[in-house]
C-alpha cells in the first residue's frame, strides 16, 4: 500500500504530539496522516527496520515534497496509512488474547487463525 500522490487533499489538522500532522486523502481515496518535521525521516527508517526484522509495523512512506489541495506543499513529509483499527493487530497479539483467556495451544492457533481470516475478509470488503 503506497500513497497515490497524483491528487492529495487536505482533510483536517491532527492535534497532539511534537510535530505538525495533517489528515489527508490521496488520489485513490485512502486516508493518511502526514507528519512533517525533524521526526519524519528517522521515524520512517526505524519503522522499516522493525518491519525487516519481522515485527508488525505501521505503513509509512517518506515523500520529499507533495502538493496538497487546501494546504499547499509539504516538505519532507511522512505518510502513515490509517487502516481500520482491528487490522493493526499482529497474529501474536491475537494469540496472546486467547492465551490470556486460558485457551490451550491448539485452540489458540485455531481461534487466532479464524479471527485473522475474518479480519482479512472485512478489510477486503468494498
Per-residue pLDDT tens for 105-124? 999 999 999 988 887 777 66
pLDDT at residue 50 in the model: 83
pTM of the predicted model as reported, rounded to 2 decimal places? 0.63
| Long-range pairs, 17-24, Cβ under 8 A, ≥24 | 22/68, 22/71, 22/74, 23/82, 24/68, 24/71, 24/79
Q: How far apart are CA 55 and CA 98, in angstroms?
A: 20
Task: Summarize pLDDT for 4-35 with one digit per residue, the tens.
Answer: 999 999 999 988 777 778 999 999 998 899 98
What are the boundaries of each domain within the chain? 8-81, 85-123
> Has residue 71 got a pLDDT over 80?
yes
- Assess contact for 78 and 62: CB atoms under 8 A: yes
SS (H, E, C) 59-116: CEEEEEEEEEECCEEEEEEEEEECCCHHHHCCHHHHHHHHHHCCCCHHHHHHHHHHHH
As a whole number, mean pLDDT of residues 48-53 equals: 83
Task: Summarize pLDDT for 87-109 with one digit per residue, the tens.
Answer: 667 888 889 889 999 999 999 99
pLDDT at residue 126 in the model: 45
CATH class of 8-81: alpha beta
Amino acid at each position: 500500500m503506497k500513497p497515490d500522490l497524483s491528487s492529495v487533499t487536505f482533510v483536517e489538522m491532527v492535534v497532539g504530539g511534537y510535530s505538525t500532522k495533517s489528515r489527508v486523502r490521496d488520489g485513490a481515496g485512502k486516508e493518511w496522516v502526514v507528519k512533517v518535521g525533524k521526526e519524519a525521516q528517522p521515524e520512517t527508517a526505524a519503522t522499516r527496520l522493525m518491519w525487516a526484522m519481522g515485527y508488525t509495523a505501521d505503513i509509512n512512506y517518506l515523500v520529499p515534497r507533495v502538493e496538497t489541495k487546501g494546504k499547499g506543499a509539504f516538505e519532507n513529509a511522512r505518510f502513515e496509512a490509517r487502516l481500520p483499527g482491528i487490522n493493526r493487530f499482529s497474529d501474536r497479539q491475537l494469540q496472546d488474547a486467547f492465551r490470556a483467556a486460558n485457551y490451550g495451544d491448539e485452540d489458540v492457533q485455531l481461534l487466532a487463525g479464524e479471527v485473522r481470516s475474518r479480519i482479512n475478509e472485512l478489510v477486503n470488503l468494498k
